[in-house]
Amino acid sequence: MSAHPSAAVIVLCLSLVLAACSSKEGQSEGVATTPLHRKPLKTLQPADPTADMALAVAENKKDDVRVKYDLNRKPQAGQPLEIDVAFIFDADSKGATVTFTGMPGLQVSDQSEHLIAPLKAGQSERHKLAVTPTENGIYYVSATVKANSSLGAVAHTFWIPMVVSAPAALPSAMTPATASSASSP
């Protein structure tokens, strides 16, 4: 007699398990269903402070340093221009130096070496650079970055291009004759 009640209990348990497995989501009324696996919560990444900057042209596409830049306005002949330059290392850096040079027709205010502090991978350091184009045309500033590593200093060259135009002409003053003809229907 004791074998039969336990067999009945086993059959009852199996039928309940099978009934639960065959039910589909949304078929059971009054029972809230939740998925077993939830999507992981998105962690907020800090905003990239260089996201709106242009990428300088690199001599070697496989460099472990990137240079980005932003012109504060459209370059015009004879007008000083400030360039915001950012240096981003893809691996931890032990520091670096950078030298800016301009091509003929583009004066760079400071061509001395500038220090870049040691940075963690992905961090950036910014520098301000003042240039003055002397004529209209297409110019570039070259930035030579000498990164310190266990192998010594490794040089990386980048170019910051710009198209220089003449200052916009001011509209001529309207003469009384043109003003009256412009207002007449």
pLDDT at 143: 95
The whole-angstrom separation of Cα 59 and Cα 157 is 6
pLDDT at 35: 55
Q: Whole-number mean pLDDT of the chain?
A: 79
The whole-angstrom separation of Cα 33 and Cα 28 is 9
Q: Determine which of 3-17, 113-127, 135-149, 171-185 has the lowest per-residue pLDDT on average.
A: 171-185
Residue 178 has pLDDT above 90, yes or no: no
Residue 164 has pLDDT above 60, yes or no: yes
Looking at the whole model, is its pTM more than 0.85? no
- Which H or E element spans position 131? strand 124-133
Q: Determine which of 33-47, 76-90, 93-107, 124-138 has the lowest per-residue pLDDT on average.
A: 33-47
- Which H or E element spans position 57? strand 57-58
What DSSP character marks residue 95? -
What DSSP character marks residue 77? T
Asked whether 126 and 154 are in contact (CB, 8 A), the reply is no
The model's confidence at residue 50, banded by pLDDT at 50, 70 and 90, is confident
The model's confidence at residue 60, banded by pLDDT at 50, 70 and 90, is confident
The model's confidence at residue 110, banded by pLDDT at 50, 70 and 90, is confident
At position 110, the amino acid (one-letter code) is D
pLDDT at 66: 93
* Three-state SS sequence of 130-166: EEEECCCEEEEEEEEEEEEECCEEEEEEEEEEEEEEC
- Which H or E element spans position 12? helix 3-22
Residue 144 has pLDDT above 90, yes or no: yes
pLDDT at 173: 55
Instruction: List domains and CATH numbers for the chain.
Output: 54-164 (2.60.40.10)
pLDDT at 114: 92
